[in-house]
Structure 1
Amino acid sequence: MLTPEHLHALHNLPLAARQAAEGLLHGHHLSRRKGAGMEFSQYRPYQPGDDLRRLDWRLAARSDRYYIRESEVETSLTVHLVLDATASMNHRDDNGLSKLDYSRLLCAALAYVATQQGDAVALTILHPSGLQHLPPRADARQLSRLYHALENVQAAGKFPDTTTLAPLTARRQPALLICVSDLYEEDEEIGRLLTRLRAAGGEVLILHLLARNEVEFTYRGAVTFEDLETGHTLQLDADQQRQAWQQQMQDWLRTTASQARRQGFDYYQMNTAAPLDQAMREFLRLRTKMV
């Protein structure tokens, strides 16, 4: 599995998405269910109550036995990617990637995998100036639309207010919703949004994205930190504060994970140095459960 740095260095989002997903999808076939679809799968013996229209009369005439033609139809669902594009996503890790850079790669790879599974994919970018929304489609051009939107997104400002989010929460379409965010919020606004979206139907997977340097606190000496969304600054000695920072970070992460799961969300934590495959596996696990 290629590292995020190598994928980002390609400067080609479609290629990066395909490269990230290629190994994962090798040998992984579309989920299918038996039914009265168009693609023939196999015969099975007739059982009382079976639809006689699916009985193969020619085979019965030749063998004097009754068989039902089973076919396979692809199971699919709507996958709704929700990307947090607030200013905190501009935070950059030691590997040079910002959270937004990583999120572009992650959303593109997830969209590619979902499309390969036959799913309709939607994308909503959360931005204080308004929502950018691509409705769910399963046609051949949807990936190009998604890649274009992801390539052009810029992170800025704070989390959108309730009025801005209203069109998103008004939609009631069952889907597997995947939220990519660092979950930095002022008053649980992200949790409230996800709760409303889950009430609309389907499942919610939170991909909680953090930079490794903020989790491990790799900074040294005197450092000035700036809150990217409020502009507030804080000066401290990183070596003196490392242990306290790490303890508070771990406490927050445990609380965040516990609250998310208590609300019925699937929660997965990842950092900007991690390969993308685990997030894609988590998606496939949930998808299998839903279809």
Structure 2
Amino acid sequence: MLGEHGRRRAGAGDEFWQYRPAHAGDGLRLVDWRRSARSDTHFVREREWQAAQSVTFWVDDARSMAFSGARDRAPKADRARLLALALSVLLVRAGERVGLAAPDMAPRAGQVQLMRMAARLCDDGASDYGAPDATGLPAHARAVFLSDFLGDLGPVEGALTAAADRGVKGALVMVLDPVEEAFPFDGRTIFESMGGALRHETLRAGDLRGRYLQRLAERKDRLEELARLTGWRFTCHHTGDPAMGALMWLHQALDRVRA
């Protein structure tokens, strides 16, 4: 499948790769006569193999992604899905293949694939916090993980390590609601996970703000470090900000980590 991404080997493409001595069976039309005239050997001009890239998306569908700190603001899940689909549309228009991190959603090209992805992204998960799965990522491809990353970071580290072992690079996008970033709580407050599994009541919520912000900053630093160590890129996006900025960042990030 012809594309713009060089594979560092001879094959179908538009860019010059190398000259090689002609072999028995090579047609006369393959011989580069200008290069051959400078020696006693006939040479064939080879082009670099170019093929479309595959980009796999993991969009966290856990219950924590259903949170919104304001009635007029969409939940984190909606923003993550929007970014994944918008970027997929841009990639498909550029001739790339896109898919989801699921056994039956391997990267493919075309509008039909976009419709299949949109339908699958409408499903919600049952767990409080999500964990990416990198077992089905195509080798030497690219990937995008979109989540609030508020659960255990152990599975995230394992997925990034597994992806790096397969030569996969990509981008991590931490999607947070502005309330989760600012922690504007004070006085008597009940904190409860979206699934109801975790619950904490306090009479002095303001006293927790400093420790909460410190732990959130440490989590971001850890994600950025994991991305750096595995050749990925990391950013944090807030649902109160326009989606266009995150979309442009993602598009540029994938180009910079091209395999």
Please indicate the TM-score interval, normalised by the length of the shorter structure. Answer: 0.7 to 0.9
Instruction: Provide Cα deviations, 1:71-115, integer angstroms capped at 9, x if missing partner.
Output: 9x9862001011111221122132432111111111111111111
| Structure (1 or 2) with the greater helix fraction | 1
Distance 1:158 1:200, change over 3 A: farther
Q: Does 251-260 or 139-148 show the bigger shift?
A: 251-260
Alignment correspondent of 1:6: none
* Count of aligned pairs: 234
Which residue of the other structure, out of 99, 108, 113, is the alignment partner of 2:76? Answer: 99
Percent identity (aligned)? 20
* CA–CA distance in structure 2, aligned partners of residues 76 and 286 of structure 1: 17
Q: Does 106-115 or 265-274 show the bigger shift?
A: 265-274
SS of the aligned residue for 1:268 comes to strand
1:257 to partner: Cα distance: 1.8
Q: Tell whether 2:152 aligns with 1:186.
A: yes
Alignment correspondent of 1:153: 123
Taking the TM superposition and a 5 Å limit, the aligned residue runs for 1:31-180 are 53=29, 76-94=52-70, 95-124=72-101, 131=102, 133-150=104-121, 152-158=122-128, 169=135, 172-180=138-146
Q: Does 256-265 or 198-207 show the bigger shift?
A: 256-265
Taking the TM superposition and a 5 Å limit, the aligned residue runs for 1:4-19 are none
Q: After TM superposition, which residue ranges in structure 1, 4 or more long, deviate above 6 angstroms?
A: 35-39
TM-score (norm 2): 0.73
Which residue of the other structure, out of 190, 194, 197, is the alignment partner of 1:228? Answer: 194
1:148 to partner: Cα distance: 1.6
Alignment correspondent of 2:43: none
* CA–CA distance in structure 1, aligned partners of residues 221 and 13 of structure 2: 48
1:258 to partner: Cα distance: 2.3
1:253 to partner: Cα distance: 1.9
In structure 2, runs of 5+ residues without a counterpart are: 23-27, 32-46
* CA–CA distance in structure 2, aligned partners of residues 188 and 32 of structure 1: 33
TM-score (norm 1): 0.66
Q: Which has the higher contact order (CA 8 A, sep 6+)?
A: 1
Distance 1:215 1:200, change over 3 A: same
Distance 1:238 1:206, change over 3 A: same
Q: Tell whether 2:239 aligns with 1:272.
A: yes
* CA–CA distance in structure 2, aligned partners of residues 102 and 193 of structure 1: 23
